[in-house]
Structure 1
Amino acid sequence: MLDAGTRTTVTGIQSQSHADRVYDWWSQHPGLFDLFAGAAFFGRYRALRETAVDRLELAPGDRVLDLACGTGPNVPMLVDRTGDEGTVLGLDHSRGMVAAARDRGHEQDHAPVRVARADAGSLPLPDDAMDAALCTLSLSAIPDHLAAIQELRRVVRPGGRVVVLDAQPYQSGPMRLFNPLVNYVSAVATNWYPDRHLPTDLRAAFGADRVDVDLYNGGTAFVATAEL
């Protein structure tokens, strides 16, 4: 974890305004973001996203939320599983990311796909509106992640699933020596909050017996599956 001095510096970077600036910039350089994410996940970025989508256990006709959808890399996989009868809703706080996702043609190519701008802590959806929700590489960068978790719990119906793919610092071993540097760079580049422990927060919100966590890449990446 961070020492006190590093935590103070990183917290000074993190904010919603910083997040919007960062992700608006990444929205204009999607190829660079894919390279950054690929390096951060040791080349397993796409494979882990596919694993996260599989954990949703979607069926044709399902309604699925892609929270903090970015430029929409998950959308084709979600559409494949929900079909023309389903609904894929991508929400993101970054204007640039929303514009980029729309420019990729998702809404034009697939009638059930919608992309909109929204605050993760106050989603424009009624209770139990979705069958499932996905959040990839974003919950650790959302300033009020606890509010976002509660919103995911609110908008997904009983019996549905919430799946989170995200990253965390090395929790043990000699690689922890590199955490301060990696944490700072990631906070600047992605508004990352490395001192969170998302699996703990998800279990507190959904119930410890309802959240399964699979670890990858030496424990620095995880896929958490919550059943409502």
Structure 2
Amino acid sequence: MVGGISIMTLDTVRKTFTDWAPVYDATHSWSLPLRRTARLALGVQRGERILDLGCGTGLNLPHLRKLVGKEGLVIGADLTPAMLDMARRRIAQHAWENVEAREADAAHLPFADASFDRAICSYSLNIIPDYVRGIEEVKRVLVPGGRFVSLEMRSSLHALPGFLQFLPHICGVEMSHQSLDEIRRAFGEVQVHHYLLGLVFIAVATREAAPLA
């Protein structure tokens, strides 16, 4: 990682997750409990607009849609068309009219400022090549007072038991990022909760509210 840009490239990410797409759900059941914890940390209200950044095959989408109800909007954004194909099949299967899956580079999100009330990123920041810009983009598209929840693996694994250190490699992620530091830099105060012997953390950040007139 150099200057906030990973040694992984957009093409590398696309290729890796194109290969993963057909088996991703079957091989990532281990991630489901903490995904639920992260979704609850969003504090979603009915009718809100939610961004699921790095949505992959759409594992979060049904649950986020349930939280916002028919009045809200859920948009999943991902870089890899093969993963988005899986997410769109999930959406079509349930005929959800207020859930979308869009191809997007996290460093250049195709959304206007203040488009979303909440944003969530599950095991994705560590594979965003320009993750610093990605975090800034999340902040940009959130409304003032909007909440961002990041569920991630630690960027430094040297303190973990040896039998855990291989997990990021089989999950296909780049662990050189200091994403938590960058979330703090962008958002200020961040609540952090650690899980699985410190391997995983959930960070909860809030975009500063607009100043009173």
Structure 1's 125 and 218: CA in aligned 2 closer, same or farther, altered over 3 A?
same
Give the Å deviation of 1:170.
3.0
Match for 1:138 among 116, 119, 124? 124
> SS of the counterpart of 2:83?
helix
- Scaled by the length of structure 1, what TM-score is found? 0.82
- Give a deviation string over 1:188-208, Cα, whole Å, max 9, x none: x52x2212222111101111x
What residue number does 1:220 align with?
A: 199
Q: Which amino acid aligns with 1:64?
A: I
CA contact (8 A) 1:64 1:132 kept: yes
- The Cα of 1:212 is off from its aligned counterpart by 0.6
In structure 2, relative to structure 1, the CA distance for the partners of 1:31 and 1:227 (3 Å cut) is: closer
In structure 2, the gaps of 5 or more residues are 1-5, 208-213
* SS, match of residue 23 in structure 1: helix
> Are 1:104 and 2:90 an aligned pair?
yes
Name the structure 1 match of 2:56: 70
Q: Which has the higher helix share?
A: 1
User: Percent of aligned positions with the same letter in both sequences?
Assistant: 32
Between the aligned partners of 1:107 and 1:63, the Cα distance in structure 2 is 21
Aligned mate of 2:27, from 26, 30, 33: 33
Asked if the contact 1:69/1:91 (under 8 Å) is kept, the reply is yes
> Does residue 193 of the first structure (1) align with residue 174 of the second (2)?
yes
Q: Are the aligned partners of 2:116 and 2:143 in contact in 1 as well (CA < 8 Å)?
A: yes
Kindly tell me: are residues 119 and 49 of structure 1, through their superposed partners in 2, closer, same or farther at Cα, counting changes over 3 Å? same
Which one of the candidate residues 167, 183, 197 is aligned to 1:202? 183
Aligned-partner Cα distance in 2 for 1:154–1:162: 11
| Aligned-partner residue type, residue 92 of structure 1 | D
Aligned residue-pair number: 202
Question: Taking structure 2 as the reference length, what is the TM-score of the superposition?
Answer: 0.87
The one-letter code matched in structure 2 to 1:120 is A
Structure 1, unaligned runs of 5 or more: 1-10, 39-44
Which of residues 137, 149, 152 is equivalent to 1:166? 152
Cα distance in structure 1, aligned partners of 2:45 and 2:64: 10
Distance (Å, rounded) in 2 between the aligned partners of 1:223 and 1:32: 23
Is 1:147 the counterpart of 2:133? The answer is yes
Corresponding position of 1:15: 9
Read off the aligned partner of 1:152 and give its amino acid letter: V
Cα displacement (A) at 1:100: 1.0
Return closer, same or farther for 1:31/1:114 CA change in 2, 3 Å cut-off.
closer
Specify the SS of the correspondent of 2:126.
coil
2:103 to 117, 129, 134: 117
Deviates more, 1:161-170 or 1:70-79: 161-170
Q: Cα deviation per residue 1:67-124 (whole Å; 9 max; x = unaligned)?
A: 0100000011101110000000011000101111111235852111011101110001
Give the AA of the match of 2:52: D
